């Protein structure tokens, strides 16, 4: 894999790792980031499990792909990020436009694009 793509995949991995660790171990700090209002223990549990789990599982797949050179795992994370982005688009249509939704949407689409590109580039050699 080309060095630039390897760096971009590594940066995405670090970002997702940070979000995953914060979601898992400091969910109250993530409330503002996700614009959520968790209700008691069940709400905090949802942030830890759903958000933390999604991010950390993505990190595991990306680390495996980087370490083993098996970039098929990049496609799994690209699919996850694409579906998350699709959910944001559905929300923009169903709930109305909010400019705060645009930056994470762009990041999610960028991560998906980088991962697909890295996989295709790796497998074209």
For the segment 78-96, what is each residue's pLDDT rounded down to a tens digit? 999 999 999 999 999 999 9
pLDDT above 80 for 1: no
Residues 26-72: pLDDT tens digits? Answer: 988 888 888 888 888 998 898 999 999 999 999 999 999 999 989 99
DSSP 99: G
Q: What is the DSSP string of the chain?
A: --HHHHHHHHHHHHHHHHHHHHHHH-HHHHHHHHT----HHHHHHHIIIIIIHHHHHHHHHHHHHHHH--THHHHHHHHHHHHHHHHHHHHHHHH---GGGHHHHHHHHHHHHHHHHHHHHHHT-
Name, in order, each residue with C-beta under 8 angstroms of 31's C-beta and a sequence gap of 6 or more.
37, 38, 47
């Amino acid at each position: 894999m080309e060095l630039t793509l390897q760096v971009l995949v590594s940066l995405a991995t670090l970002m997702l790792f940070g979000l995953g660790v914060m979601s898992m171990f400091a969910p109250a700090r993530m409330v503002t980031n996700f614009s959520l209002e968790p209700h008691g223990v069940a709400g905090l549990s949802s942030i830890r499990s759903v958000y933390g789990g999604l991010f950390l599982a993505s990190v595991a797949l990306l680390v495996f792909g980087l370490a083993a050179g098996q970039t098929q795992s990049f496609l799994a994370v690209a699919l996850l990020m694409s579906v998350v982005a699709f959910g944001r688009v559905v929300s923009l249509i169903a709930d109305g436009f909010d400019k705060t939704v645009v930056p994470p949407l762009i990041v999610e689409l960028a991560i998906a694009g980088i991962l697909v590109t890295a996989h295709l580039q790796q497998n074209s050699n």
